[in-house]
């Protein structure tokens, strides 16, 4: 009696799924010319006769539209409202257990619909994609995606969070006309970037949508710092030369013009270097004047 039931079940599966199994797959032989394949939704009597085997060792082939009505307000794969959704021609593999239940909204889903591929956990647990040393976890409870670390809904973490003892994020664009990183916010007052120290309370660095930068300190490594002004071989302009330059060019020597800054912006580090240069030159001019004043006082 038990044998009869088993035979009936196997025959039923074979008829409904149109599955096909052949002799073991051989390495080094083209798929199209050897046996050893299982197909579900494929037909052993397909034409031409040379195509009776599926092209994979295991193949699930869809031939009809699939319409899903999500239950309990569950959003269907790919997003959207919980209303009936027709995914088009689809093939689906459901992965369930005695905890998830057996309905079409239960468990995990691997589905190919038209040209779209879905891989989803429809339960309230997480979805993890991993190799032995790298893991990406989609956490339903925290509504975040984590690479490394433990999923948490803390404000320390964003919708996508990378937690690692190595470099956190590297973005490289090999196209000179493209961006390595492009950020956009709803309005000029929103922060594009915020950087925190260990206290994680007050941002030490901020960049707004309007382009304002807030930082505690700015450090530049531009060379050379203008102590060269005090070297004996420095060519300090005479008062007459300086007066003529200003009358002709309408700006200080080595300073960019207003038109240059308006068109190209100003290099803050370079501007500060030149400002220090002007202050040191001004100091030399003051000392020259002080020397002249002393000479005049001695004459009196």
pLDDT higher than 60, residue 23: no
Comparing 94-98, 152-156, 210-214, the range with the smallest average pLDDT is: 152-156
- The pLDDT confidence band at residue 37, using thresholds 50, 70 and 90, is low
C-alpha to C-alpha distance for 114 and 137, rounded to whole angstroms? 27
In the prediction, which pLDDT does 39 show?
75
Do strands 160-162 and 144-147 pair parallel, antiparallel, or not at all (unpaired)? parallel
pLDDT reading at 16 higher than 80: no
Give the residue among 210, 202, 159 at the shortest CA–CA distance from 184.
210
User: 103-123, pLDDT tens digit by residue?
Assistant: 888 999 999 999 999 999 999
pLDDT band at 221 (very low <50, low <70, confident <90, very high): confident
Mind listing the pLDDT tens digit for each residue in 40-98? 777 655 455 445 566 777 888 888 899 887 765 556 666 666 678 899 999 999 999 99
Mean local confidence (pLDDT), 216-220? 88
Q: How far is CA 151 from CA 147, 160, 166, in A?
A: 9, 10, 18
- pLDDT at residue 59, rounded to an integer: 84
Q: What is the pTM of this model?
A: 0.66
Joined together, the tokens standing for residue 142 give: 């925290």
pLDDT band at 154 (very low <50, low <70, confident <90, very high): confident
Closest Cα to residue 157, out of 139, 172, 130, 171?
Answer: 139
Q: Give the pLDDT confidence score for residue 88 in this predicted structure.
A: 93
DSSP category for residue 234: -
Please choose, from the candidates 87, 105, 86, 108, the residue with its C-alpha nearest in 3D space to the C-alpha of residue 97: 108
The pLDDT of residue 287: 96
pLDDT, residue 76, reads: 60
Rounded Cα distance between 89 and 97, Å, is 26
Does residue 33 surpass a pLDDT of 60? no
Q: What is the pLDDT of residues 270-291, one digit of tens each?
A: 999 999 999 999 999 999 999 9
Domain ranges in the chain are 2-60, 64-123, 124-170, 184-217, 226-299
pLDDT at 54: 66
Give pLDDT, residue 150. Answer: 86
Instruction: Check residues 44 and 241 and name the one with the higher pLDDT.
Output: 241
Measured CA to CA, the distance from residue 10 to residue 6 in angstroms comes to 6
Bond prior to 124 in cis (omega within 30° of 0): no
Dihedrals phi, psi of 162, to nearest 5 degrees: -115, 120
Amino acid 5: pLDDT? 37
Which range in 145-149, 200-204, 223-227, 275-279 is most confidently predicted, on average pLDDT? 275-279
Residue 29 is predicted with a pLDDT of 57
Lowest mean pLDDT among 33-42, 164-173, 185-194: 33-42
């Amino acid at each position: 009696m038990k044998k009869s039931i088993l035979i009936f079940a196997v025959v039923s599966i074979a008829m409904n799924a149109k599955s096909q199994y052949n002799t073991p797959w051989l390495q080094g032989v083209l798929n199209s010319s050897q046996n050893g394949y299982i197909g579900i939704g494929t037909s052993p009597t397909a034409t031409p006769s040379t195509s009776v085997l599926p092209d994979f060792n295991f193949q699930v082939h869809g031939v009809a539209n699939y319409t899903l009505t999500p239950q309990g307000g569950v959003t269907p794969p790919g997003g959207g409202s919980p209303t009936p959704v027709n995914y088009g021609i689809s093939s689906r593999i459901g992965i369930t257990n005695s905890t998830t239940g057996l309905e079409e909204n239960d468990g995990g889903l691997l589905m190919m619909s038209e040209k779209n591929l879905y891989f989803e956990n429809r339960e309230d647990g997480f979805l993890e994609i991993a190799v032995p040393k790298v893991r990406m976890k989609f956490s339903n409870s925290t509504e975040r995606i984590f690479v490394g670390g433990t999923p948490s809904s803390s404000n320390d973490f964003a919708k996508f969070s990378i937690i690692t003892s190595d470099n956190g994020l590297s973005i490289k664009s090999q196209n000179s006309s493209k961006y390595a990183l492009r950020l956009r916010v709803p309005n000029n007052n929103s922060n594009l970037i915020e950087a925190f120290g260990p206290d994680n309370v007050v941002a030490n660095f901020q960049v707004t949508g309007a382009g304002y930068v807030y930082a505690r300190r700015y450090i530049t490594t531009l060379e050379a710092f203008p102590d060269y002004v005090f070297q004996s071989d420095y060519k300090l302009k005479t008062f007459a030369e300086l007066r003529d330059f200003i009358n002709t060019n309408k700006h200080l020597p080595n300073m960019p013009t207003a038109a240059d800054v308006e068109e190209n912006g100003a290099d803050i580090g370079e501007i500060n270097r030149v400002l220090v240069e002007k202050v040191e030159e001004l100091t030399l001019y003051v000392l020259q004047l002080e020397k002249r004043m002393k000479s005049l006082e001695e004459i009196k």
